[in-house]
Amino acid sequence: MDPNNPAAVQAAVWRSQGNTAPAAAVQRIAREPTAVWLTGDPESVRTTTQTVAAAARGGAAGQFVLYDIPDRDCQNYSSGGASTASGYLDWVRAVAAGIGRNPAIFIVEPDAVDQAVSGCLPGDQISLRYSLLSQAVSTLKRLARVHVYLDAGNAAWLPAARIVGPLERSGIADADGFALNVANFQTTSASIAYGQTLSERLGGRHFIIDTSRNGNGPPPGSGSNHWCNPPGRALGTPPTTDTGNPLVDALLWVKYPGASDGQCNPGDPPAGNWWPAYALALARGGH
């Protein structure tokens, strides 16, 4: 756990102001291990090296999210990514070099496969995306102590049958498994059911589930408010490898609780920005 993570800093500020109850609530976030999102910025490689070394000193594995695929998020709130395919692969190799022989867990490119299947990419870019994902997976798996999970969306997005082929083209055979519910709110039980169906079609592949914000499950309705900063949500099960299911390698906090999903409502912070009020609501169970 990073002692300088946003929730820990926020809790310290509130304690200094005498706001002990909010500080104690947000401390629930501060004390749990969370993934570091790597978005291709110049500091990402150094951040990787520092984070994985600190985690190893504490007897833990660093947790990371690769999030810099070209045309990332298809012009939505988290749009961006590497400007070229070669630049992306160079960056992945640099990140891998920063890991060395330290233990680490990587979630590879949230939404990248499902968005390609959903049709938001030009047709001539879909095969390139699958190739880049496959090369990213294989690059990371060359490292002796790294576990790699290719993102496979969530239980409410696409039928499992629609993403089996794309996951195979994107290198799932070389990965340790797939990741579900990253930055989403589907329940753990729904995610397990979906994951088991997908695993059956992928030769028994294991998976991990992001439980950072699924304590109250998804909100009712549809549209952007169904997945982008919905009110009334709550923290989910804290990170653990004791999942009670042989196919589920871990429940992890991949999306940082309290980080905005994007400017989908008036006054919402940009995607990835720390949002104290939303963090506090999550920690208080949506209240």
CATH at 155: 3.20.20.40
| Number of domains present in the structure of the chain | 1
Task: Indicate whether 23 belongs to any domain.
Answer: no
Residue 80: per-residue pLDDT: 87
Residue 269 dihedral angles phi and psi, to the nearest 5°: -70, 165
pTM for the model stands at: 0.96
Q: Which residues are catalytic?
A: 73, 111, 261
Q: Is residue 165 part of a domain?
A: yes
Considering the domain boundaries, does residue 19 fall inside one?
no
Chain position carrying tokens 């000193």: 57
Between strands 62-66 and 36-38, the pairing is parallel
Instruction: Tell me which residue range forms the domain holding 41.
Output: 32-283
- In a domain? residue 214: yes
Supply the angle between the helices 123-141 and 160-169 in degrees, to the nearest 10.
Answer: 70
Alpha-carbon distance of 143 to 112, in angstroms, equals 23
Per-residue pLDDT of the chain (287 residues; tens, 9 = 90+): 677 899 999 999 999 999 999 999 999 999 999 999 999 988 888 989 999 999 999 899 999 999 999 999 887 888 889 999 999 999 999 999 999 999 999 999 999 999 999 988 988 899 999 999 999 999 999 999 999 999 999 999 999 999 999 999 999 999 999 999 999 999 999 999 999 999 999 999 999 999 999 999 999 876 656 889 999 999 999 999 999 999 999 999 999 999 999 999 899 999 999 999 999 999 999 76
Q: What is the spatial distance between Cα 64 and Cα 1, in angstroms, rounded to a whole number?
A: 13
